[in-house]
């Protein structure tokens, strides 16, 4: 997503944890502890992946996107489908997304990434750079935020 910013990647932590599991330092029960809520979120709002579960290898991982932010009010902390995020990003100023991978077989789960989305993602600085970038990059216009790019372009 074009407006994704302040991305924090947790793959190093995940790798370190998996190493400890494979070394036997940490039991699989400790890391395969997805709550019923998380498993439900994976079933109903999850994004399927082609990646095998690193623990049981029986099932592919599912990504769950949790959203947080004051503007979300009672929706804060809910899981959303990936396809809903661009719509929210156009209507809200800023919200935080936490991406958790879940195995629906063994209940392995790990935070893999977090980032900010929202209209505020386009800061004054980015809008400055954007003026040139939008004009230069045709690919940006094909994204779901394309209509707003056109409007910005119109004001130049
Ligand atoms: Zn598994």
Phi and psi at residue 55, in whole multiples of 5°? -95, -60
Kindly indicate the confidence band of residue 96, based on its pLDDT and cuts at 50, 70 and 90: very high
35 Cα: distance to centroid of ligand 1 (angstroms): 14
Decide: 43 and 107 in contact? Cβ < 8 Å.
Answer: no
Choose between 144 and 125: higher pLDDT.
125
For 66-79, the pLDDT digits (tens) are 999 999 999 999 99
* C-alpha dist (Å) from residue 134 to 8, 43, 85, 90, 114: 26, 38, 22, 17, 26
Mean pLDDT value of segment 82-90: 93
Write down the pLDDT at residue 4. 87
79 Cα: distance to centroid of ligand 1 (angstroms): 20
Collect residues with CB below 5 Å from ion ligand 1.
Answer: 53, 55-56, 103, 105-106, 108
Choose between 138 and 28: higher pLDDT.
28
């Amino acid at each position: 997503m074009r407006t994704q910013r302040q991305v924090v990647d947790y793959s190093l932590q995940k790798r370190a944890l998996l190493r400890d599991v494979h070394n036997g330092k940490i039991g699989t029960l400790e890391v395969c502890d997805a709550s019923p809520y998380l498993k439900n979120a994976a079933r109903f709002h999850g994004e399927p992946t082609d990646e095998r579960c690193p623990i049981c290898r029986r099932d592919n991982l599912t990504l769950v996107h949790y959203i947080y932010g004051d503007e979300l009010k009672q929706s804060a902390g809910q899981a959303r489908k990936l396809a809903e995020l661009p719509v929210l990003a156009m209507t809200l100023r800023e919200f935080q997304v936490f991406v958790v991978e879940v195995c629906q077989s063994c209940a392995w789960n790990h935070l893999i990434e977090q980032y900010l989305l929202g209209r505020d993602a386009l800061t004054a600085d980015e809008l400055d750079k954007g003026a040139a970038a939008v004009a230069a990059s045709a690919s940006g216009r094909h994204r779901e935020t394309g209509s707003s790019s056109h409007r910005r372009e119109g004001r130049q």
